[in-house]
Structure 1
Amino acid sequence: MWTYRKSLLAAVCVFTIFYLFKSSRSSSASTSNTASFGLGSRGRSYPPSLSTKNRPSSQQTIENLASKPLRERLRYQFPYDLESKFPAYIWQTWKYSPASGEFGENLRPLEASWTEQHPGFIHEVVTDDAALHLIKYLYASVPEVTEAYASMPLPVLKADFFRYLILLARGGIYSDIDTQALKPATDWLPKDFDRSTVGLVVGIEADATDRKDWAQWYSRRIQFCQWTIQSKPGHPALRDLVATVTEETLRMKKQGILKANKMDKSVVEFTGPAVFTDAIFSYFNNESFFDYSARGANISVIDFAGISSQKKVGDVIVLPITSFSPGVEQMGAGGIDDPMAFVKHEFSGVWKPESERMKNN
């Protein structure tokens, strides 16, 4: 006959067995994901262990916050939750709304492809005028950022900066207006992959690790593209990038050189793929987020040379060149029918003057 004591003991045993089984399953799944994504061709281990040292406290008073550095205030304003879902937003920018008759007919099928591939997503094409108001609203508590955005002398600078700002604040997917969605974002990672371990998805634009003349063509030997990015809000790499661009903008403004023909940085280095690539590598090697004591080496360009599938580093997925640059017919990129082809960039240079379009960026 079951007594109360025996029933309680049995319940505790069942609960313990269930907990251990669940923990074992979770550990097994995590190991599987790391194995599929974490080993490069040279056998170097990934990802580095997440570090808990130097993590700032989330407890802040409004009075103390105002005196904190820019990065600290951005972290407070836009907290990062790795285990949250990727927001179902698609952000694009252009001079005109798709509802306008001035929206280019050549852009309509490209813009429509994002809605067609993502029917459950909110898809916004933000005009230049609307972008300024949106940034002022989202970053009202961080006036340096709004000042930097409003002070930029070229539309391309604002277009670059906008993508980082909107993803940091709201997350989702940003993609240039001259891109075509070939596959939905749900296909960018394997179906059984644990998306609660990923906060940022980037693609390789250039892999010039085997070229001695790489500097004549690209700003970095491994260059990450920023015409398409997926992120959860508050990602630390984007936070640092926003702070860097803000600081550089205000520095040039103070020096009186924040003008189209006077800036001491090119567009690519100031807001484009060079500074974006640097921010990603800086994050990969930031000991505030990762523990490299067991690995003994930094993440470098060689870790991404010639990759043909997704590679996971910490909470970042790096896609091969085929994913966002199919059909370029160089650096090992596959065609648009390749299983790893997700987004096609038309490289029309729509941000350039008409006379300079269709030339190399």
Structure 2
Amino acid sequence: MAVSNTVRRAALIAAVLITLFLLLRPSSPSSQEPPSAKSVSEQTGLPSRPYPPPRSPVKPQRDQKAVQDVTGWPLRERLRYHFPYDIEAKFPAFIWQTWKRGPGSGNFEERLRPFEASWSALHPGFVHEVITDDAAVHLIRYLYASVPEVVQAYEAMPLPVLKADFFRYLILLARGGIYSDIDTQALRSAPDWLPQSLDKSTVGLVIGIEADPDREDWAKWYARRIQFCQWTIQSKPGHPVLRDIVATITEDTLKMKKAGKLPKGKEPAKSIMEYTGPGVWTDAIFSYFNNKEYFDFSSRTTNVTYSDFFGIREHKKIGDVVVLPITSFSPGVGQMGAEGPEDPMAFVKHEFDGSWKPENERMKGD
């Protein structure tokens, strides 16, 4: 019996030692190298990026050393790597909104409840989140932990309106779905925004026209002759327009912070419209439309300009971006050709509350 116990004890010890050896031995080198900081076309061996863009390469299994190596890449390349774009994926069923307090709070403004409720009512299968100001910073820290300068830029912004603008781009880049201001009312469900005949696997970004003025003094009221609204945006995660605007705002913010031009609680020298608002948003979209990295220019004779969107009355698709007419997100404004909320092309009504913006910013791009 004693011999039997000794044998069993020896076998048990041997099993434990073998298990420890297997768990603690160095893992074999990965057969996949992390993607280089080259363009996707160079990585995949495809020709010069015809449209639509190729699907982002599948991320390899990354060990700690690979993650540390990525930190040396340029900002845009790191954003591309951490938030890859898959044009063929479905639009995520998320609705993102922000406000000072959540709907579950007794301090949530009653005037906003019908607007907030309209999104849930028309999107029963969607996850609808109203992110409070206090929660937003923690969410950004989590989503962008691998790109710390983005977090630094967000936290350095001196006004809530700037953070609210930046948040919409950040959440859509990382998670996709729909962002819409808290003072918007959903009129039609998002699956009905695009024609049923349109292949959704060829669309990655849906935007609407905010301004198409025909008056000579348009610059007094709007940042651009054609201005795209950013109070409602739908996107798939990782879209290049979102990557570009996040990088642009991050770089601008950190430069201003270093120069001492971001006094807390005060407006920066750069206007909100140009810093985080519709001006820089519109520029990012036109920059994308005319970027040879994404579009095949062999059949083009001119760039995409403001005039391509004058007076449009139905959706217009350029590459993987669908631009909706002014009626879609601005029904009932009574100008620039916008029809009323009852129009079939009216999808979202903006109430232009703008109470969270500085007084001098409410007229432009509320």
TM-score bracket for the superposition, by shorter chain length: 0.7 to 0.9
State the distance in 2 between where 1:108 and 1:310 align: 30
**Contact 2:80–2:243 under 8 Å retained in 1:** yes
State the distance in 2 between where 1:179 and 1:135 align: 23
3-state DSSP class of the match of 1:293? helix
State the distance in 2 between where 1:236 and 1:195 align: 17
- The one of 93, 101, 117 equivalent to 1:96 is 101
Partner AA of 1:300 in structure 2: T
Partner AA of 1:226 in structure 2: Q
Tell me the TM-score normalized by structure 2: 0.81
Could you say which residue in structure 2 is the equivalent of 1:245? 249
Aligned residues: 311
CA 1:163–1:288: 2 relative to 1, 3 Å: same
Per-residue CA deviations over 1:97-151 (Å, capped at 9, x if unaligned) read 1001110000000000000010000000000010000000000000000000011
State the distance in 2 between where 1:357 and 1:254 align: 25
Partner AA of 1:271 in structure 2: T
Correspondence 1:134 to 2:135: no
Correspondence 1:255 to 2:256: no
Partner AA of 1:107 in structure 2: L
Correspondence 1:270 to 2:275: yes
3-state DSSP class of the match of 1:312? strand
Q: 1:193 deviation in Å?
A: 1.5
Q: 1:67 deviation in Å?
A: 1.0
Could you say which residue in structure 2 is the equivalent of 1:50? 51
Q: CA RMSD in A?
A: 2.0
Partner AA of 2:146 in structure 1: S
Q: 1:211 deviation in Å?
A: 2.5
CA 1:358–1:106: 2 relative to 1, 3 Å: farther
Partner AA of 2:253 in structure 1: T
Q: 1:174 deviation in Å?
A: 0.2
State the distance in 1 between where 2:283 and 2:185 align: 26
Could you say which residue in structure 1 is the equivalent of 2:21? none
Which ranges of 4 or more aligned residues in structure 1 deviate by more than 6 Å? Answer: 55-60, 355-358
State the distance in 2 between where 1:199 and 1:51 align: 10
Partner AA of 1:225 in structure 2: C
Percent identity over paired residues? 68
State the distance in 2 between where 1:113 and 1:314 align: 31
Q: 1:337 deviation in Å?
A: 0.3
Query: Where does the alignment leave 5 or more consecutive residues of structure 1 unmatched?
Result: 1-47
Query: Where does the alignment leave 5 or more consecutive residues of structure 2 unmatched?
Result: 1-48
Per-residue CA deviations over 1:335-359 (Å, capped at 9, x if unaligned) read 0000000000000113126x77975
3-state DSSP class of the match of 1:86? coil
Could you say which residue in structure 1 is the equivalent of 2:208? 203
Q: 1:64 deviation in Å?
A: 3.3
**Contact 2:331–2:340 under 8 Å retained in 1:** yes
Correspondence 1:173 to 2:175: no
- The one of 186, 189, 199 equivalent to 1:184 is 189
Q: 1:217 deviation in Å?
A: 1.1
Could you say which residue in structure 2 is the equivalent of 1:115? 120
Could you say which residue in structure 2 is the equivalent of 1:299? 304
Q: 1:192 deviation in Å?
A: 2.4
State the distance in 2 between where 1:359 and 1:285 align: 30
Correspondence 1:326 to 2:331: yes
Structure with larger Rg: 2
Could you say which residue in structure 2 is the equivalent of 1:75? 80
Tell me the TM-score normalized by structure 1: 0.82
Partner AA of 2:198 in structure 1: F
Per-residue CA deviations over 1:39-90 (Å, capped at 9, x if unaligned) read xxxxxxxxx951779x999779434311110000000000000000000000
State the distance in 1 between where 2:157 and 2:167 align: 11
